[in-house]
């Protein structure tokens, strides 16, 4: 009789600590699990290459039409969309208009990602009266264009978020207000679940960092808005972590809302290519200058 691998674990009534060789088939056979169909015909078609003249460039137009990119040609999307809260780069959109914009961009992202490609969206929730759960809307809208969700990362900004005084009713139950010290990084995938690697490209993540980054809470400080000249920049550390975890060296990373070019800098530092989109001429110029400095360094 064949002996069972001593490291193999299975779904149990009391949970399972170990995960090496874990057999979770019993869990995935349960009624709770959604039925994920076979990849659509266009997902089964062969991947394409991004034209060389498109690589490592920022295009100054809306990512609702990423016409420079062929179908199924990129590997990873990392972005932080504008939050539509009245900052100088925002349009004053209604919630429905804002969601329509993101759906169109997510649809284009799904088109240009190769089968198995991932999409990572950094988003913060808004307001207090009422609280607007933007992350929940993005999850719903990503599903409508074909993405399946792989998880969510809580970005704990508490160590560098400063001291907030938005308590609502001070030391009173009449109207206390929660003070967000976190944002979300939502991780989606275009089926199938495995990222193909036909060119045998290398992973660049270390063992220690892989162990840390596969945890669902990340803690690092936010970026200085004054330093980058943008009201809501994210630090290079955010896209760098996602790029290391979800792509191979030489892959193509896209950012549909590239702002001042942070994700491009992270892509270059990790040995990936990038393609970015930005509607603001001012931010296009900033990102292009920043990328040039990175290449010259």
Using the CB atoms, write b or e for 216-245: b if 16+ within 10 Å: eebeeebbeeeebebbbbbbbbbbbbbbbb
Length of the chain: 297
Looking at residue 109, what is its pLDDT?
A: 98
Supply the CATH classification number for the domain 49-162+177-194+203-296: 3.40.50.150
Full DSSP string of 91-144: ----HHHHHHHHHHHHHHHHHHEEEEEEEEEEE--B-STT-B-HHHHHHHHHHH
Looking at residue 266, what is its pLDDT?
A: 97
Global confidence as pTM: 0.86
Using the CB atoms, write b or e for 169-191: b if 16+ within 10 Å: eeeeeeeeeeebebbbbbbbbbb
Q: How far apart (Å, rounded) are the C-alpha atoms in residues 105 and 235?
A: 22
Q: How far apart (Å, rounded) are the C-alpha atoms in residues 38 and 242?
A: 27
CA distances (Å), origin 19, targets 12, 24, 227, 268: 12, 10, 43, 33
Looking at residue 198, what is its pLDDT?
A: 82
Nearest CA to 274 among 75, 48, 37, 17? Answer: 75
Q: Is 288 helix (H, G, I), strand (E, B) or coil?
A: helix
Nearest CA to 249 among 268, 235, 236? Answer: 268
Q: How far apart (Å, rounded) are the C-alpha atoms in residues 40 and 295?
A: 39
Q: How far apart (Å, rounded) are the C-alpha atoms in residues 195 and 70?
A: 18
Q: How far apart (Å, rounded) are the C-alpha atoms in residues 66 and 62?
A: 8
- Dig out the tokens for 143 from the structure: 């599903």
Q: Walk along the chain (297 residues) and give the pLDDT tens digit of each residue.
A: 444 555 666 666 655 566 666 777 777 777 777 777 666 555 556 789 999 999 999 999 999 999 999 999 999 999 999 876 555 445 678 899 999 999 999 999 999 999 999 999 999 998 888 999 999 999 999 999 999 999 999 999 876 555 566 677 788 898 888 888 899 999 999 999 999 888 899 999 999 999 999 999 999 988 765 555 555 567 999 999 999 999 999 999 999 999 999 999 999 999 999 999 999 999 999 999 999 999 988
Full DSSP string of 32-67: TS----PPPHHHHSPP----TTTTTEEE-S-TT--T
Q: How far apart (Å, rounded) are the C-alpha atoms in residues 103 and 110?
A: 10
């Amino acid at each position: 009789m064949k002996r069972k691998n001593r490291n193999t674990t299975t779904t149990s009534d009391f949970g399972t600590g170990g995960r090496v060789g874990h057999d979770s088939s019993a869990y995935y056979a349960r009624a709770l699990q959604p039925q994920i169909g076979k990849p659509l015909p266009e997902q089964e078609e062969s991947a394409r290459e991004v034209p060389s003249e498109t690589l490592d460039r920022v295009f100054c137009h809306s990512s609702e039409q990423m016409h420079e990119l062929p179908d199924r040609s990129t590997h990873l999307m990392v972005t932080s969309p504008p939050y539509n809260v009245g900052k100088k780069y925002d349009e004053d959109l209604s919630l429905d208009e804002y969601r329509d914009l993101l759906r169109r961009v997510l649809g284009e992202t799904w088109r240009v990602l190769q089968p198995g490609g991932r999409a990572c969206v950094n988003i913060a929730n808004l307001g207090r009266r009422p609280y607007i759960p933007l992350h929940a809307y993005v999850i719903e809208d990503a599903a409508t264009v074909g993405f399946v969700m792989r998880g969510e990362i809580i970005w704990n900004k508490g160590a560098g978020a400063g001291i907030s005084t938005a308590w609502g009713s001070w030391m009173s139950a009449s109207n206390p207000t929660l003070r967000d010290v976190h944002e979300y990084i939502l991780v989606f995938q275009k089926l199938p679940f495995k990222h193909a690697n036909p060119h045998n490209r290398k992973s660049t993540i270390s063992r220690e960092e892989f162990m840390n980054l596969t945890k669902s809470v990340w803690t690092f400080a936010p970026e200085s808005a004054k330093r980058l000249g943008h009201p809501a920049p994210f630090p290079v550390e955010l896209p760098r972590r996602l790029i290391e975890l979800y792509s191979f060296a030489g892959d193509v990373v896209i950012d549909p809302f590239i702002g001042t070019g942070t994700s491009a800098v992270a892509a270059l530092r990790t040995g990936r290519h990038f393609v970015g989109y930005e509607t603001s001429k001012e931010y296009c110029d900033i990102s292009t200058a920043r990328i040039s400095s990175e290449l010259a360094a």
